[in-house]
Chain A
Amino acid sequence: MSRIVDEFTKGLWKEIPPFRFVLGLCPVLAVTSSVSSALGLGCGVIFVLMVSNTLVSTFRHHIPSKIRVPVFIVIIASAVTIVELMMEAYFYSLYEVLGIWIPLIVVNCLILGRAEAFARKEAVHLAVADGLGMGIGFTTSLVVLASIREVIGAGTWFGLQVMPKAYLGFELFQRPPGAFICLGLMLAVINFISLKTEKKGAAC
């Protein structure tokens, strides 16, 4: 039981995907100009990650290792296509905003990385916990990054005005360079915090 909890929580801080692995950065930088699109992409990634981790782990003894990558990609690409169709059918405005980034979830290294590094070796319940933890960690990072960029860049959060009306917005943060700056600062802060906590207590 504690193993499940461990695998789940490691994705939330200890191995939080975009900051610890620095994987799948392209969509991270691209969709975080608004909180709603970040959340939308994050939910898509959680779903795909769960499907791919569950299936890869369930059939891990039946997939010959020589063709494992094509099999993983087929599973991931199909799950992404389901997300794309569902989003177009039921969340059209989100589908329009995310556009090309939905099909590009297929090549998000995070998902293939989890299938390759974790799910193909571990039992199903652990793989599910890992997928859920990593997915939530990824989504949380996206939402935090998007919150900073949207509040500073446009003065809104989730489309609601949070800054005083007179605030004109800081355009740089809405643009790709702002995404890099923001991501760099967040990386620095997270490394600083873990450095401090590691020094204080016994290293985890």
Chain B
Amino acid sequence: MTAREIVRMVLVLTIVTGIWGGLLSLVKIATEDQIQYQRITNIKAPALKRALTVEYDNDPIKDRKTIVIGTDSKGKPIERAVFPAKQKGKIVAVGFEAYGGGYEGDIGVMLTILVEEDTLGSIAITTHTETPGVGTIAFQNDTFMNQFKNRSLNTNLSPGGGNVDAVTGATYTSDGVAKAVQQGIEIYKKHKEDIL
């Protein structure tokens, strides 16, 4: 193998991967808004509907706003969409997503908070990569999912806090959900003014 050949191979591979990388990022930029829209209508909206336990007369998806909840390791702001549910123009509940590490990556939980009562409303799962039939039994367990309903925001709901019963056989998944809920509560407490 001559040096010329090696240089040629390196060059060809670099050019091919470079061109495709650029092209892919263009496609990604072009489809980003549409994908965002699809995710909101197909995943977040149904979850929000399930998690909103109060009466409301607006369209929370349409009235959503974006808040900044901190910065990531590169210093870029982390944004989160907040969905307000209003009754006669007054916000009665807000819904937003929070994430907690389960057995296999993050579990997305849509949680709602009742503004007047200052308690949790309810929760619903949005995205997850848990093992079907093993971890996912936690999501189908009504006793587990319902224990978050109407809990006070001052209760420690994180795993090991003693206030959440995990589902047998799906401990990591249960912990992930609890972590996500606790994180959501903390986001709400910290950014209450931005959210409302």
Contact = CB atoms under 8 A, between A and B. Distances in A.
Interface of A: 62-64, 66-67, 70-71, 74-75, 78, 81-82, 85-86, 88-90, 92-93, 96
A90 B30 CA distance: 12
A52 to B, nearest CB: 12
A89 B16 contact: no
Contact of B34 (A62, A63, A89): A89
A89 B24 contact: no
Closest 8 CB pairs of A and B: A89-B34, A89-B31, A78-B20, A92-B38, A85-B31, A89-B35, A67-B9, A64-B9
A74 B34 contact: no
Contacts, number: 46
Main secondary structure of the interface of B (DSSP, over half): helix
A81 B22 CA distance: 13
Interface of B: 5, 8-9, 12-13, 16-17, 20, 23-24, 27-28, 31, 34-35, 38, 42
A85 B17 CA distance: 18
Main secondary structure of the interface of A (DSSP, over half): helix
Given A92-B38, A92-B42, A96-B42, A71 B31 contact: no
Contacts of B34: 89-90
A93 B27 CA distance: 20
Contacts of A70: 13
A166 B44 CA distance: 37
Given A75-B20, A92-B42, A86 B31 contact: yes
Contact of A85 (B8, B12, B13, B28): B28
